[in-house]
Amino acid sequence: MRAIRVVTCAVIEKEGKILIARRKRGDHMGGKWEFPGGTVERDETPEQCLMRELKEELGVDIGVDEFICSSQYAYDHATINLLAFKATLLSDELKLCAHEEIRWVSPRELGRYDFPEADAPIIRRITASREKG
């Protein structure tokens, strides 16, 4: 049995739109869209990971809000336990440090983008919560 890699992602909403980022072509899963985040390092909480990764990837400070859901998916290269959190931008200027492109999209548009499989339950949760509200 292979180890499970714990990964975090931030669902950042601003003016009714959600931030998504496209992985650089040539990187692992290059060209796919994702909610920004990354792998939890040793002796780091998921919340600390998310703050560190968004600073590294987008040059922004965030506040980590409530936990949304988790998603586990077995890819060929690894099994991922993806932890999604709502987050708030504390600084406004986003920089492309680790991604090819970023977009602000409406929740109903998320299904039009090519996300890794582990993100599907998060997209369903976001979409379902909008339909209820």
Q: What's the CATH number where 48 sits?
A: 3.90.79.10
Distance (Å, rounded) from C-alpha 43 to C-alpha 97?
Answer: 25
- The residue ranges of the chain whose pLDDT is under 70 are 1, 130-133
Predicted local distance difference test score (pLDDT) of residue 132: 56
pLDDT for the residue numbered 78: 86
pLDDT at 1: 58
In 10 A of CB 6, how many CB atoms? 17
Distance CA 1, CA 49 (A): 25
- Nearest alpha-carbon partner for 13 in 55, 65, 58, 83: 65
Number of domains in the chain: 1
- Domain housing 71: 4-132
Q: Give the per-residue pLDDT at 91.
A: 87
At residue 29, the pLDDT reads: 77
Tokens of 12: 């950042």
**pLDDT confidence of residue 34:** 96
Return the pLDDT at 130: 63
The predicted model scores a pTM of 0.91
